[in-house]
A = this chain, B = another copy of it.
């Protein structure tokens, strides 16, 4: 009996994810689609020059305001001296790469778990090219944002190369940040 209870308390995980919670989440969304609607938020305040700070805490999802965070996360944007700053923080286009790296990684790990694939290790190196002629308004034919972003991924998993290639293609297509970058997403600014 003691052995049985002990076994019942062992949560089955794969890639660090609770498989039962994964299945329950998907089943809950199928039963009640509005559970899948999320609204994420950030509040930012300008300090001076290229320095500004965000707080991130609340969001709406699973039909409720989230209450899980005791205090907000805080992040500081800055700029290096060559871009008129003092390295007060990473700069916004670098934070975008961090967001993209994390999202592709988490989406890969999640769908690997769903497919029964165990990830042994996963690391990425990202590079993106920007021509300042765009941001500075010196040439209206130059896009102000990234021209393209390259992700070099080093991944080890207990599956075949074909299965891994299929997983990576699926994860790239379903990563929320990657999709936000690859697809034109409307941004609306409203003065209040």
Q: List residues of chain A with CB under 8 Å of any chain B CB.
A: 13, 15-18, 21-22, 25-26, 29-30, 33, 35-52, 54, 56, 59, 61-62, 66, 68-69, 73, 75, 77, 79-84, 87, 89-107, 109-111, 119, 121-138, 143-155, 164, 168, 170, 172-192
Contact = CB atoms under 8 A, between A and B. Distances in A.
Interface of A is mostly: mixed
Given A99-B96, A137-B170, A153 B191 contact: yes
Contacts of A79: 106
Contacts of A105: 44, 46, 52, 77
Contact of A75 (B29, B44, B90, B170): B90
B144 A97 contact: no
A50 B145 CA distance: 27
A98 B44 contact: yes
Most buried by B among A18, A47, A96, A127: A96
A92 B75 CA distance: 13
A106 B90 CA distance: 13
Stoichiometry (number of copies) = 2
Nearest to A66: B80
A125 B43 CA distance: 4
B82 A62 contact: yes
A170 B33 CA distance: 39
A25 to B, nearest CB: 7
16 contacts: A37-B132, A40-B91, A41-B97, A41-B125, A42-B97, A43-B125, A44-B105, A44-B123, A46-B123, A54-B98, A77-B102, A91-B106, A92-B177, A145-B181, A145-B185, A148-B185
A37 B15 CA distance: 39
